[in-house]
Amino acid sequence: EPEVTQTPSHQVTQMGQEVILRCVPISNHLYFYWYRQILGQKVEFLVSFYNNEISEKSEIFDDQFSVERPDGSNFTLKIRSTKLEDSAMYFCASSAGTGGPLQETQYFGPGTRLLVL
């Protein structure tokens, strides 16, 4: 069964460093998302991406964040200068498209656990 994959599974970085989190969405999916979950808290939406541009972003997704689809398979989240409060689990998700519940269901990757020291 196709699945969303994410690398790395864990990342430790120093405050102020740049990190790139990578995701490979399910191959025929057209919509991509990043969510984050600070330890012990609920999952929060960061950004959605469609047709090579951002569709929607939350207030969390400030200028320190950027997303890119550099090729036909990868979808990346870059944090330009990490802060302590960026420590969280970051989830990538993808969905097939519009037209019904199956196509619009979002499937999640296993997450990247980011720790900023």
Partner 1 sequence: AQTVTQSQPEMSVQEAETVTLSCTYDTSESDYYLFWYKQPPSRQMILVIRQEAYKQQNATENRFSVNFQKAAKSFSLKISDSQLGDAAMYFCAYRSQNSGNTPLVFGKGTRLSVIA
Among 64, 69, 76, 107, binds partner 1 (CB under 8 A): 107
Instruction: State which of positions 48-87 bind partner 1 (CB under 8 A).
Output: 48-50, 55-56, 58
Q: How far is the CB of 6 from partner 1 (least distance, A)?
A: 10
Stretch that binds partner 1, among 11-19, 64-72, 73-81, 92-100 (CB under 8 A): 92-100
- Calculate the dihedral angle through the C-alpha atoms of 93, 96, 99, 101, rounding to the nearest 10 degrees: -50
Tell me the CA end-to-end span of the chain in Å, nearest whole number. Answer: 37
Beta bridge partners of 7: 22
Among 8, 16, 17, 41, binds partner 1 (CB under 8 A): 41
What tokens were used for 29? 């999916």
Computed on alpha carbons and rounded to an integer, the radius of gyration of the chain in Å comes to: 14
Residue 24 is a binding residue for partner 1 (CB under 8 A): no
Exposed, middle or buried, 18 (CB in 10 Å: 0-12/13-18/19+)?
A: exposed
Residues lying near partner 1 in the complex (CB under 8 A): 30-31, 33, 35, 37, 41-45, 48-50, 55-56, 58, 89, 91, 93, 95, 97-98, 101, 103-111, 113
